[in-house]
Structure 1
Amino acid sequence: MSGSFTSLTAAERQRRHWFTKSAADFQLFGQSTSHCSVSKMVVSVIVALMLVSCTCGENPAIQVVLTDKGLQYGKHVGAGWIQEKLELVTLPDISGKVRIGILGSIGYTLTGVRITKCDFPEPSVEFNQGPTGFKTSTSGLSIAVTGGWRTHYKAIHDGGTFNMALFNVDVTSVVELGKDPDGHISVNSVSCNAQIGNLDIEFSGGASWIFQPFVDYFKGHIRGEIEYNICPTVEKYIVNAEQSLQAMNVSFEVNEDLTFDIPLTGLPVIEESSLNLGFKGEFYSIKTHQEPPFEAQPFVMPVQSGYMLSAGLSEFTVNSASYGYYSAGLLQAIINDSMIPPSSPVHLNTSSMGPFIPQLPKMFPGLLMTLQVYATEVPQVSFHSGAVKMGSMAAVKAFAIQPNSTQTPLFKLLVDSEFSSKVWIAEGKLKGSMTMDNFTLSLDSTEVGTFNTDALASMAKMGVKMALSKVNKQLTEGITLPRLKHAQLVNPVLTLEEGFIAICSDAELLEDIDFN
């Protein structure tokens, strides 16, 4: 019987991949004005993955790859979003004291600070292998802000407005990705460095003519205050992202029968031009929650640098769903005559079955029949280069319905069937074709005496072929691919490999996406 599980023994090292877009809140400035370029870019490349418990060491059944092309696209979108939101930002007050020669300490507060202009060069984001994560750099950022000022020198209090410009702001941050003991992705700030090249400030109103000559004293102190607070602000948003990840889970209820678990199975793996994440990808029966008697086999996802991302689905994931239904006793059905089309030449009654089982209408004349169909083994799916193989073993128990509604067992048939299919993506739809490779029907036991099953097998094959014809018509027309919540796939390509199925694609974020 086909449907054996396929492994790739050459896969010594698994690659784990995921295309990322942060769901963490972004407040452009925490305690400093130059944060406008950094915190979003740091957080926007962190995976907002909903991850819960996992068993360490197991092979991932789902792998996702984010390439450098995808990373750069995400960076570009994030940078554009920042530029659009800058004019809406109000910055926190900046307060301090500065000592000016013989005058002593002068206290100041800059309040109501808002950005009027930001020369925002697109940051650089790259994969970082040691430690595993991202390195984000912003260089040459210039910001113009305006607001109000207040000073107090002994009994003198004054105020007015100011305009300030920060030039050549450089910020570099390294973020490490990991996995906590429960299988959540972890996010940790490893290093951060911030420098402001220069700062100019001009006071207006009040007694600004007194303080303007001492602007060199003020701007040096203000620049230091801003530099000091940039990295703590960046790290605060990284902590917020970490907390958001910890609050999420990956145990999803698919329907009333199955749940789907996708925790991380190992540490993120970053190579020179890709981020790789591996997920458990296992379905469970809600009723039994039993582990299947087979394990996910290792497979290696090829990095397709020409695409933004790719995802691989192991045959284990599909077969775990099959086992979930099987272990809960859901792979069975009762068929009665009311379910047979009126135009069918054969119906479920002893008279109609006479040509196939001659003794049946003699032993049980004029009685309706019912069939109990159920899987005797877990149906299996296997992925091969260019084809999907599906196999199942089932049994059919036939009963005669007596006038008093009791059911009399008649016979039991065994059905062994195998199918092959090809699938591909075209015109934004999943398309394919399916053929029957084998259909064997045999008599397992009987209460009405032995009979030849060839005629019954021929009739059953005709029914299966008619059903396949309808399935293939739908597959030819195609099934529209599900649309992601905030993005859509662009020119996706599907390939069938040994042990897994892979989709490579570019992606496009929707215009109405909001990172808030």
Structure 2
Amino acid sequence: MAIPIFSDGIPVRIIFGVFLWSRNSGRRKTKLLIIQLMKTMKLYIICVVFIVSLAEAKNPGLKTRITDAGLTYASQVAIEQLSKSAKGQKIPDQSGRSGDVSYELSNVVIDSFSNPSSSITVTADGLNWKSDGLGLSITGHFHYKYHGIIPISDSGNIDVSVSRVNFNVGISLGVDGTGRPKIASSGCSCGIGSLDVHFHGGAAWIYNLFKGVVEDALKKQLNGQLCTIIDKAVNTDASQALAKLKVTVDIAKMFMLDYRFISKPAFNPGHFLETYHKGEVYWTDSMTEAPFDPPSMPSISSTNKMFYISMSDYVFNSLAYEAQIHKMLQYNLTQKDLPAKERGFLNTTCVGTPCIGQVIPQIGKKYPNREVAMSMSSDFSPNMSVSNGKVNVLGGGTINMFTVQGDTFLLTLNATMTASVLLNVKSEKIYGSISDMKLKLHVVKSNVGQISDTVLNFIANTAIIAFAEPQLNKLGSNGIPLPVTNNVHFVNTEVTLVKDTLMIGTDLKYQ
């Protein structure tokens, strides 16, 4: 039985029940019931919001996965970058006193950095970067004063050897308000196994009076300095690199491919992290959503490569949709658009070579010595589908044929197009080319009598496909950039086609 509803959404029978209870049971019971009713309505609203949020959730159009192998390589690159960042770093000047000796250390600089073992692993809520066996050599200048019976003052240089240094730092990954990734360090800790100071110049017996104090001071300072360097490597250097990550890409100066994150990364501890992206193409001047949703993409089962990209056919179909609604899939085909050897085909009169006036004699007799043009337009946005290891495209439209001189209507054709697409990845771009393109034509209206299917197929292959296929291949040769930073390059790349998805598995090289 239907429950009557007020305009504000509260069931009539519930309100009526409250009224009766209030009359028969007094104010206290009424108050308790109203409180219970409010709790019930609050729960009802929460449930509605939850259901709506589930309904609005969309699949990503593109997702990426960084595997354990990729993170291992990333840790190697990170250590190399940390080494470059650490060399030349100045440690703050030190001063102190030990007994009768006061000292000053100045111009203390990290001179060399020996790469340690390093690893980046996935945790439940981010990444963990740890390293062990790091070594440093440090140089500097010292000055001391001995405040004994006979005051002595001298200066010289120091060499510091540091070994068995380790550090551990947490790395959180998220998404900012613009859909860009963000990164931050947390909980950095460092440890120094041994530190040995060697003095050059002055009296050795005096050095021994404050050698231990200097070593302790440098250890303490280095602990803080190393975490400062590591935090900078994450919070500044890595953040700046991520800030350069392309989250929108221009296509043909008319379209924009949206790579923005739609949610926070997902972490599978000890194995991989995944990121989820919009993966939709928009018209540059109008962010209109496509009237269809991305399909669910299969899970990535392989972990042999460092990096995986899953791109659904939604990316290409949203591009086709935008091209359709902005009337980009319309064209008037004339002689100048055909390859040189076929340009004469659109003449109504010809000698020695085939032309449309010869193939359709009615046109040649009725309209001699003229050129024919074809006004082509798509009736619906082409659809690309990936299945059984193949990429197929289906399109359809209308072709109106008319004479250029006099603008005389000849006939209207209905066209259905099917084609296979070959996809490959090179230089961090996806490239496509058309193969096995087929057109099926059907006469809708004719001003020149009946035309056989054989003639229509000849027209399709000689004129339309001869024009359309090179044009589509030219567009495909421009490539679509993939979401990586400029200094990361793909090596040993493999492309796999699974249901609704182009899956790219690749190793990486940082340059």
TM (normalized to structure 2)?
0.73
In the other structure, the counterpart of 2:450 is 451
Moved more, 62-71 or 458-467: 458-467
Aligned residue identity for 2:277: F
Alignment counterpart, residue 284 of structure 2, candidates 283, 286, 296: 286
Instruction: Sort the Cα spacing of 1:345 and 1:231 in 2 relative to 1 into closer, same or farther, 3 A.
Output: closer
Partner secondary structure for residue 298 of structure 1? coil
In the other structure, the counterpart of 1:43 is none
Partner secondary structure for residue 322 of structure 2? helix
In the other structure, the counterpart of 1:124 is 119
Q: Deviations over 1:309-332 (max 9, x none)?
A: 221111011112222322322212
**Would the aligned equivalents of 1:107 and 1:151 in 2 still touch at CA under 8 Å?**
yes
Cα deviation, residue 173, structure 1:
0.7
Cα deviation, residue 450, structure 1:
5.3
Cα deviation, residue 387, structure 1:
1.3
Superposition map of 1:365-514 within 5 A:
365-402=368-405, 406-421=406-421, 434-436=435-437, 439-446=439-446, 448=447, 451-463=450-462, 467=466, 486=487, 488-509=489-510, 513=511
Alignment counterpart, residue 222 of structure 2, candidates 223, 226, 231: 226
Distance 1:96 1:338 in 2: 80
In the other structure, the counterpart of 1:267 is 264
1:161 and 2:161 matched: no
Distance 2:89 2:145 in 1: 22
In the other structure, the counterpart of 2:70 is 70
Structure with the higher helix share, 1 or 2? 2
Cα deviation, residue 417, structure 1:
1.9
Instruction: Sort the Cα spacing of 1:62 and 1:444 in 2 relative to 1 into closer, same or farther, 3 A.
Output: same
Q: Deviations over 1:84-119 (max 9, x none)?
A: x59x92231432343434x48x35223143425x55
Moved more, 332-341 or 255-264: 332-341
Distance 1:124 1:292 in 2: 42
**Would the aligned equivalents of 2:82 and 2:230 in 1 still touch at CA under 8 Å?**
no
Instruction: Sort the Cα spacing of 1:468 and 1:336 in 2 relative to 1 into closer, same or farther, 3 A.
Output: closer
Alignment counterpart, residue 177 of structure 1, candidates 157, 173, 189: 173
In the other structure, the counterpart of 2:296 is 298
Greater RCO (CA < 8 Å, at least 6 residues apart) = 1
Instruction: Sort the Cα spacing of 1:375 and 1:367 in 2 relative to 1 into closer, same or farther, 3 A.
Output: same
In the other structure, the counterpart of 2:128 is 135
Distance 2:137 2:282 in 1: 56
**Would the aligned equivalents of 2:108 and 2:138 in 1 still touch at CA under 8 Å?**
no
Partner secondary structure for residue 123 of structure 1? strand
Which segments of 5 or more consecutive residues in structure 2 lack a partner in the other structure?
1-55, 350-354
* Number of residue equivalences: 438
Distance 1:398 1:467 in 2: 17
Moved more, 202-211 or 159-168: 202-211
In the other structure, the counterpart of 2:59 is 59
**Would the aligned equivalents of 2:80 and 2:115 in 1 still touch at CA under 8 Å?**
no
Instruction: Sort the Cα spacing of 1:342 and 1:432 in 2 relative to 1 into closer, same or farther, 3 A.
Output: closer
Instruction: Sort the Cα spacing of 1:91 and 1:297 in 2 relative to 1 into closer, same or farther, 3 A.
Output: same
In the other structure, the counterpart of 2:89 is 91
Instruction: Sort the Cα spacing of 1:251 and 1:506 in 2 relative to 1 into closer, same or farther, 3 A.
Output: closer
Distance 1:431 1:337 in 2: 27
**Would the aligned equivalents of 2:439 and 2:457 in 1 still touch at CA under 8 Å?**
no
Aligned residue identity for 1:120: N
Cα deviation, residue 337, structure 1:
3.4
Distance 2:241 2:340 in 1: 58
Instruction: Sort the Cα spacing of 1:90 and 1:424 in 2 relative to 1 into closer, same or farther, 3 A.
Output: closer
Distance 1:366 1:170 in 2: 86
Aligned residue identity for 2:374: L
Instruction: Sort the Cα spacing of 1:205 and 1:293 in 2 relative to 1 into closer, same or farther, 3 A.
Output: same
Instruction: Sort the Cα spacing of 1:211 and 1:64 in 2 relative to 1 into closer, same or farther, 3 A.
Output: same
**Would the aligned equivalents of 1:66 and 1:309 in 2 still touch at CA under 8 Å?**
yes
In the other structure, the counterpart of 1:317 is 315
Cα deviation, residue 254, structure 1:
2.5
Distance 1:469 1:445 in 2: 23
Q: Deviations over 1:200-238 (max 9, x none)?
A: 213232456424322122222221222233323322332
Distance 1:398 1:422 in 2: 31
Cα deviation, residue 378, structure 1:
0.6
Moved more, 153-162 or 415-424: 153-162
In the other structure, the counterpart of 2:36 is none
Partner secondary structure for residue 377 of structure 1? coil
Instruction: Sort the Cα spacing of 1:504 and 1:168 in 2 relative to 1 into closer, same or farther, 3 A.
Output: same
Cα deviation, residue 497, structure 1:
0.6
**Would the aligned equivalents of 2:372 and 2:401 in 1 still touch at CA under 8 Å?**
yes
1:217 and 2:218 matched: no
Distance 1:399 1:292 in 2: 34
**Would the aligned equivalents of 2:59 and 2:296 in 1 still touch at CA under 8 Å?**
yes
Distance 1:487 1:221 in 2: 40
TM (normalized to structure 1)?
0.73
1:237 and 2:233 matched: yes
Q: Deviations over 1:422-444 (max 9, x none)?
A: 66789x998988335x6432233
Cα deviation, residue 385, structure 1:
2.4
Aligned residue identity for 2:462: G
Distance 2:456 2:308 in 1: 43
Cα deviation, residue 392, structure 1:
0.5
Partner secondary structure for residue 330 of structure 1? coil
Distance 1:75 1:99 in 2: 41
**Would the aligned equivalents of 2:91 and 2:225 in 1 still touch at CA under 8 Å?**
no
1:334 and 2:332 matched: yes
**Would the aligned equivalents of 1:261 and 1:282 in 2 still touch at CA under 8 Å?**
yes
Cα deviation, residue 396, structure 1:
0.6
**Would the aligned equivalents of 1:381 and 1:391 in 2 still touch at CA under 8 Å?**
yes
Partner secondary structure for residue 71 of structure 2? helix
**Would the aligned equivalents of 1:159 and 1:207 in 2 still touch at CA under 8 Å?**
no
Moved more, 371-380 or 222-231: 222-231
Distance 1:338 1:119 in 2: 66
Instruction: Sort the Cα spacing of 1:423 and 1:308 in 2 relative to 1 into closer, same or farther, 3 A.
Output: same
Q: Which has the larger radius of gyration?
A: 2
Cα deviation, residue 502, structure 1:
0.9
Aligned residue identity for 1:125: I
Distance 1:246 1:209 in 2: 55
Which segments of 5 or more consecutive residues in structure 1 lack a partner in the other structure?
1-55
Distance 1:68 1:166 in 2: 30
